[in-house]
Amino acid sequence: MSGIPYALFLVSAIILAVLILSSGCTGNAPAHAPSSMSPVSEDPGSGTSWKEIAISDLQGRGNFSVSSLVGKTVIVPVVSVSCPECIVQLQKQLVEIDRLEKGSPGRITIVSLDVDPDIGPGFMVAYGDPVHFTGYSARSPPEMTLALLHRFGPFAIDTETIPVLLVCPDGHDLLLPAGVKTAESLNETIAREC
């Protein structure tokens, strides 16, 4: 086990299994996805915001954190390569985000965040690029996925609800309502919240 104590390995495996099951795709729509969501407190255990955790761009542009992008509006669609049933809705969401970005070039940054474990290609590689994606594409490490769960609750990583996080230029963040958000509603939310 490469020097890792068995107990630590077992705890890590259990946490990973819970994360996979909580973000997996069941083929059924969520029973009670809220129509509007608001953030709860940051992860009290680690003291580290999800935005501070280092991630790697799967398209080869290096390491970064969402907090390193502060100063711009950041839109973070949460995706899952392992949920083929979610792909059609997710692609609709990416089209709407692309419409918003084209309407305001340079105003927003997009980070496609894959909550699957570190296996296989990222979303853009696995399912193609219907909108000629220009943002960052990254895989959420388990500690980031857990921090998202603590910060926003289970719908932040439930890819069936088409989760989208909004980070304003000043750094405050929120989880947007479930379902596909139009470019117009994204623009209104940015105007109201940021």
Q: Is 94 exposed, middle or buried (0-12, 13-18, 19+ CB in 10 A)?
A: buried
Residue that the structure tokens 């109201």 belong to: 192
Q: Is residue 156 part of a domain?
A: yes
Q: Is residue 137 part of a domain?
A: yes
- What distances in angstroms separate CA 116 from CA 43, 77, 80, one per listed residue? 20, 13, 6
Q: Is residue 1 part of a domain?
A: no
pLDDT greater than 50 at residue 33: no
| pLDDT more than 90, % of the chain | 31
pTM of model > 0.85: no
- Mean pLDDT, residues 47-64: 84
pLDDT greater than 80 at residue 175: yes
Rounded CA separation 98/118 (Å):
26
The domain in which residue 10 lies consists of 6-24+35-193
Q: Is residue 172 part of a domain?
A: yes
Q: Is residue 30 part of a domain?
A: no
Q: Is residue 152 part of a domain?
A: yes
Q: Is residue 96 part of a domain?
A: yes
For 42, the token pair is 């940051």
pLDDT greater than 60 at residue 108: yes
The CATH number linked to 115 is 3.40.30.10
For 103, the token pair is 């309407």
Q: Is residue 55 part of a domain?
A: yes
Closest among 164, 141, 182 to 77, alpha carbons compared: 164
- What distances in angstroms separate CA 115 from CA 16, 19, 82, 172, one per listed residue? 11, 9, 9, 21
pLDDT greater than 70 at residue 5: no
Number of domains in the chain: 1
Rounded CA separation 165/176 (Å):
6
